[in-house]
Structure 1
């Protein structure tokens, strides 16, 4: 009896201890969830403007845009005359390319069938080919403010403005230059070639009529940039929704939008371009196409937040092109939030705290992807010239 009596009085005490313990545990979990709360308001997002802003020294006109289009598709700009800007930025792929990292110089074929010719001593392009579509809006804030002269470019922000960006691929070994010319001499060579083509002489003269010798590198960059500023996709269903059409998104897409905001994606993917245009270290695995690890411009593995617009057409994703689907990207962020680092060269202290605070769960992924698909707009200009003034193959060696 004494034994049973002892148990009788002990059980309530044990239950009380368990309840207190469970309560403390619940409080701890609640506190953790509160600490990890990262939800943003829809006010951090926005629709793209209906029109673009030109730099003061490069106002657009139809003749300049057409000249830029021809130059964009003409392999005369490359060292070996085999690569054009359009080789790696194709209309069918949202002016990007369906490869982990691109094959520029000494390549042949298009899309997944593109490969190096043999023999070959040219490396793959260092990073995934970013879309040129909507780069006219790079740097735009949620209040519609941006300066086209200072627009951030490339994965590492090493250039500002489309004019500066336009000439860098021409000077880059694996993209367009090749071994035949140095970085210091390639532009002079390209300009000399263009001057020897009567049609280009005429077109440059018409576009830049106030100049005695209009064929030079600055005007080359201005023409290409003027064309690239026409490549916009600003009529997505998300744009319509943000402009006031509440029926532009379905209920499930609106749920996906709320998940996007709640999980913390909008901490970096904000504004009309859904990018803060800042560098973040996420520990993304390196491309397998290059032997060396890509540590970025500051050697801390930080890369620019990409835009989320038209993702349907721009796979694979991230600077290294390592993720083939949006589901894989979101699973990566779930792992990052859980403390996993997929790049062995990145330390925990380097990881961006914003990524650590994200709250992406597997159950949310399909909803977020459904929302991301509302950012697609296929109505952009896909016009490809039937010929280029040099007489070379349009888009270079892609057939």
Structure 2
């Protein structure tokens, strides 16, 4: 790869954005799909028509998110695995739910625990309300892809899944079918929750605490976890000083290496499933995983669907050697292994391209996102801090 690249005004093919558009014309659109053109994030995540945002609803959702009362064991909350200090992930390779002790990378299994860690890395909730958003199109929050394998659509559906999961929040105390109903019963027994549900959804206390309202409140809160003040956002809005010369050179490397084929658009993801020759036992039976966002990677190590790569450099090196690994494992055989995604190829980077690319990825970080943790929750149970 040519190491003497220069970054000119026309480095990007960028559509008009909500702020000042960037003049860019030198990059041919055929180099990457139009939905992968780079745009800053909108100011607010899209909301489903049946769940508009409201201050009381968001406040309730935050309390529910941090309250272990939702778990059958009463010691695991949503925030156990989605911590503000780790970019609303958990800093672990794979999370520990039921039977764990502590938070973040220091969370461990208790000796008596019968549940192993889960097999998928905890995804960040920062900007999760924008899941499915690509350039030049409106995203429908009712169909927003969730989880590494996109097996669930919409935040409203996703938020109930961990409550039902044996390893995450249910344990052996009740069946999967009973888990959410029992959580609702526990919430109804708490006067403060009855009052807050009533105010958030403008219904009598006797009717306000429902499964639908539980899901809507947490989803409404999660949509407020917006991070859109990264240097890349300011750069895309016309501030050429927002990114250093090295970061701008890294952007050119990012584009020339083909990373933008999948990691483009406002969220730096095409939200498609791809096969990377990495192992997994259950991803839709095909070992395909959704392209993760590249925003705020500074906070969310380790990386990949299984949390197996500890640093950004190790991720870049993985892609640099990907085709070598693929040629060894995807040799036809019995035909049981899927064909590696045709978009994937060796990056062919020079030694000085790695630091430039890492510098560009640093420009996708925003340090000023919401990190608020409630001091207490209505159940009176401990808030993990």
Q: TM-score, normalised to structure 1's length?
A: 0.84
Q: In the alignment, which of 36, 43, 58 is matched to residue 51 of structure 2? A: 58
Matched, 1:121 2:107: no
Which residue pairs with 2:3 in the alignment? Answer: none
Q: In the alignment, which of 377, 380, 390 is matched to residue 379 of structure 2? A: 390
**1: CA distance, partners of 2:327 / 2:200:** 51
For 2:183, what is the secondary structure of its paired residue?
A: helix
Q: TM-score, normalised to structure 2's length?
A: 0.87
**1: CA distance, partners of 2:357 / 2:124:** 21
Matched, 1:227 2:216: no
**2: CA distance, partners of 1:365 / 1:187:** 47
What number of residue pairs does the alignment pair up?
A: 351
**1: CA distance, partners of 2:376 / 2:173:** 26
Shift of 1:172: 0.8
Which residue pairs with 2:281 in the alignment? Answer: 295
For 1:280, what is the secondary structure of its paired residue?
A: strand
For 2:289, what is the secondary structure of its paired residue?
A: strand
**Residues 149 and 161, structure 1, Cα contact 8 Å, conserved in 2:** yes
Which residue pairs with 1:74 in the alignment? Answer: 67
Deviations 1:335-362 (A, max 9, x none): 1134546979997752111113654455
Whichever of the two has the greater Rg, that structure is 1
- Superposition pairs of residues 308-347 of structure 1, within 5 angstroms: 308-340=294-326
Deviations 1:34-83 (A, max 9, x none): xxxx9549972211111222110011111111100000000000010010
- Superposition pairs of residues 1-399 of structure 1, within 5 angstroms: 40=32, 44-143=37-136, 145-210=138-203, 213-284=207-278, 286=279, 294-340=280-326, 349-356=338-345, 358-395=347-384
**1: CA distance, partners of 2:174 / 2:337:** 42
Shift of 1:295: 3.2
**Residues 100 and 113, structure 2, Cα contact 8 Å, conserved in 1:** no
For 1:247, what is the secondary structure of its paired residue?
A: coil
**Residues 39 and 263, structure 1, Cα contact 8 Å, conserved in 2:** no
Deviations 1:346-390 (A, max 9, x none): 977521111136544554221111100000001111110000000
For 2:142, what is the secondary structure of its paired residue?
A: coil
Shift of 1:283: 1.5
**Residues 333 and 360, structure 1, Cα contact 8 Å, conserved in 2:** no
**Residues 150 and 161, structure 1, Cα contact 8 Å, conserved in 2:** yes
Q: Which runs of 5+ in 2 are unaligned?
A: 1-29
